[in-house]
Amino acid sequence: MSVLVVGSIALDTVKTPVEEHADQLGGSASYASLGASFFSPVQLVGVVGDDFPESEFDFWKQHRIDASGVQRAKGKTFRWSGEYAWDLNTRETKSVALNVFENFSPTLPENFRETEFVLLANIAPSLQSHVLDQMKRPRFVVADTMDLWIETTRKDLDALLPRVDLLILNDSEARQMTGETSLIRAGRKIRKAGPKYVAVKKGEHGALLFGEDEFFSCGAYPLEDIHDPTGAGDTFAGGVAGYLAGKTRGEVNFQQLRRALIYGSVLASFNVEAFSMDRMRSLTTDEIDQRYDMFRMMSHFEVLE
Ligand code: AMP
């Protein structure tokens, strides 16, 4: 089954203490749709400017990403630039140029409206709701958000939450949203505000998953070499949504969500091994499965007799 992905498509300039790369493919929807494409066909919705390389459309096609929902508008593509500190964890946004993204209003092609799995990657919550308004009968809706929307458009975000099955956000965003220092309390409180499930990402420390009476905690895949953490969260969300769309049948249950979370973490771990989406461009499903198995072995333990 396909998954519909909507979000930003950008040209990013990223600097780490050792490298800098300019105008690379970025944006929440670009990372998320590539992550999802390893498990299911993707329908991508977004906007690019007339400077956006045609070669990326060919790349999407090769990865069974249907980009017929990507509008090409007059003007420049959304640009974002960020710089990482030595720990490759702390990041400062250096510049944002919305360009064609400023007037973006996602319009779904007719054949995208029946899609049952939806990933609302990080964009303004009013636009995320606008996408859901156009869908016929979404079966499972995953949404991502960021500190900016919690701070500036809280009402829109609160209105979206009851329409979401799985909300994904990071630890600092969960604390910001609830005013709770405990992530357990924060996760539970957010779930009560609408979403059936909540996933709280803790960067290199893994993730937590909250259901009505269920709870799951997993680590992150330990990596020795990180080159560019940009888009890890979006890739994670893409992996989760793609896995659910492509690999589950019937109603999504907690067991499947647990597995989806691990696949999301595996994909995110590959993504940060190189700049932009470079590692994922050559990634194979065998490599994903091998790392998944390794992850399982590393996390497995038994109670001592
Ligand atoms: P992450 O590392 O998961 O925070 O995602 C980074 C990606 O988000 C970059 O590729 C940016 O192009 C994109 N991005 C940055 N700011 C925004 C924004 N306000 N709305 C949507 N996407 C954004």
Give the pTM. 0.96
122 lines ligand 1 (CB under 6 A): yes
27 lines ligand 1 (CB under 6 A): yes
- To test the ligand 1 pocket, which listed residue (11, 122, 157) has its Cβ within 8 A of the most ligand atoms? 122
Structural domain contains residue 91: yes
Predicted pLDDT at 249: 87
CA 42 – ligand 1 centroid, Å: 20
H or E element: which one contains 84?
strand 78-84
**What's the pLDDT tens digit per position in 143-163?**
999 999 999 999 999 999 999
> What does the alpha-carbon distance between residue 60 and residue 83 come to, in Å, rounded to a whole number?
27
CA 28 – ligand 1 centroid, Å: 5
Mean pLDDT of 59-77: 97
Which residue, among 154, 162, 202, 203, has the nearest Cα to 182 in the 3D structure? 202
In the structure, what pLDDT confidence band is assigned to residue 32 with cuts at 50, 70 and 90? Answer: very high
125 lines ligand 1 (CB under 6 A): no
Structural domain contains residue 165: yes
**What's the pLDDT tens digit per position in 40-52?**
999 999 999 999 9
At residue 305, does pLDDT exceed 80?
no
Mean pLDDT of 166-193: 98
Structural domain contains residue 304: no
Q: Residue 172 in 3-state DSSP?
A: helix
What CATH number corresponds to the domain at position 79?
3.40.1190.20
Torsion sign over Cα 164, 179, 91, 280:
negative
At residue 290, does pLDDT exceed 90?
yes
At residue 211, does pLDDT exceed 80?
yes
**What's the pLDDT tens digit per position in 241-280?**
999 999 998 889 999 999 999 999 999 999 999 999 999 9
37 lines ligand 1 (CB under 6 A): no
Which residue, among 129, 127, 97, 118, has the nearest Cα to 11 in the 3D structure? 97
Predicted pLDDT at 304: 72
Cβ partners under 8 Å of residue 170, min gap 6: 200, 201, 202, 203, 233
Nearest CA to ligand 1 atom 9: 27
CA 9 – ligand 1 centroid, Å: 9
8 lines ligand 1 (CB under 6 A): yes
2 lines ligand 1 (CB under 6 A): no
Q: What percent of the chain has pLDDT over 90?
A: 95
Cβ partners under 8 Å of residue 137, min gap 6: 114, 116
Q: Half-sphere exposure (CA, 13 Å, Cβ side) for 55?
A: 4
157 lines ligand 1 (CB under 6 A): no
Structural domain contains residue 305: no
Contact 127, 159 (CB under 8 A): no
Q: Which atom of ligand 1 is nearest to the CA of 31?
A: 10
Cβ partners under 8 Å of residue 79, min gap 6: 10, 11, 12, 13, 23, 95, 96, 97, 99
28 lines ligand 1 (CB under 6 A): yes
Predicted pLDDT at 89: 86
In the structure, what pLDDT confidence band is assigned to residue 204 with cuts at 50, 70 and 90? Answer: confident
In the structure, what pLDDT confidence band is assigned to residue 136 with cuts at 50, 70 and 90? Answer: very high
Structural domain contains residue 53: yes
**What's the pLDDT tens digit per position in 113-126?**
999 999 999 999 99
Residue 195 is given by DSSP the state -
Tell me the residue type at 88.
L
CA 300 – ligand 1 centroid, Å: 34
149 lines ligand 1 (CB under 6 A): no
Structural domain contains residue 191: yes
Backbone angles phi, psi at 26, to 5 degrees: -150, -165
46 lines ligand 1 (CB under 6 A): no
Domain count of the fold of the chain: 1
In the structure, what pLDDT confidence band is assigned to residue 303 with cuts at 50, 70 and 90? Answer: confident
**What's the pLDDT tens digit per position in 221-249?**
999 999 999 999 999 999 999 999 999 98
Residue 234 is given by DSSP the state H
CA 27 – ligand 1 centroid, Å: 5
Nearest CA to ligand 1 atom 14: 27
What does pLDDT average to over the chain?
A: 96
CA 304 – ligand 1 centroid, Å: 45
12 lines ligand 1 (CB under 6 A): yes
Domain that holds residue 171: 3-299
Predicted pLDDT at 301: 83
